Amino acid sequence: MSALTPKQLAFLRAHELCRFATASKDGKPHVVPVIYAMDGENVVVATDYGTKKLRNLKENRSVALVVDEYHPNRAVMIEGECEILERGEEYMRLLHVLFERFEYYRKNSWGEGDSPILKVKPSRAVSW
């Protein structure tokens, strides 16, 4: 069963910026804006080594994110588990998803081991 409705998926595909929340093992929250791509209903994000969000995710794989707009006031909030990918077939497939979505990534491409890719599998979604 999908955590996202077709309407929520369409909204997410029409945007590219979200607020991405992680927490350390002791529950200290951290929220940052990130660009993302959709892979089915999974949210795909590239990150750098050394970031707070990556350190948090190595301790606690639970995440939340919000994609919103102010006029009109609409949003989708997702809770889920995050997988960290650094190499392999799935890494390369998701890297191409990011390259297809973002010209910046195509112009500044990278390969396995250069930058982790985060794959968020939604378990719950709320929209307004």
Cα separation, 17 vs 1, whole angstroms: 26
- Joined tokens for residue 40: 């089915």
Identify whether 55 is part of a domain: yes
Write down the mean pLDDT value for the chain. Answer: 96
Cα separation, 47 vs 117, whole angstroms: 6
**Could you tell me the pLDDT band of residue 1, with boundaries at 50, 70 and 90?**
low
**Could you tell me the pLDDT band of residue 111, with boundaries at 50, 70 and 90?**
confident
The pLDDT score that the predictor gives to residue 97 is: 97
Q: What is the pTM of this model?
A: 0.95
Number of domains in the chain: 1
Write the CATH number for 110: 2.30.110.10
State the SS3 of 12-62.
HHCCCEEEEEEECCCCCEEEEEEECEEECCEEEEECCCCCHHHHHHHHCCE
Residue 54 has pLDDT above 70, yes or no: yes
Identify whether 48 is part of a domain: yes
Identify whether 115 is part of a domain: yes
Identify whether 65 is part of a domain: yes
Identify whether 44 is part of a domain: yes
Q: Which residue has the tokens 């301790």?
A: 59
- Strands 37-39, 17-23: parallel, antiparallel or unpaired by DSSP? unpaired
Identify whether 88 is part of a domain: yes
Can you give the residue range of the structural domain that contains 85? 6-127
Average pLDDT over every residue of 94-117: 93
Identify whether 1 is part of a domain: no
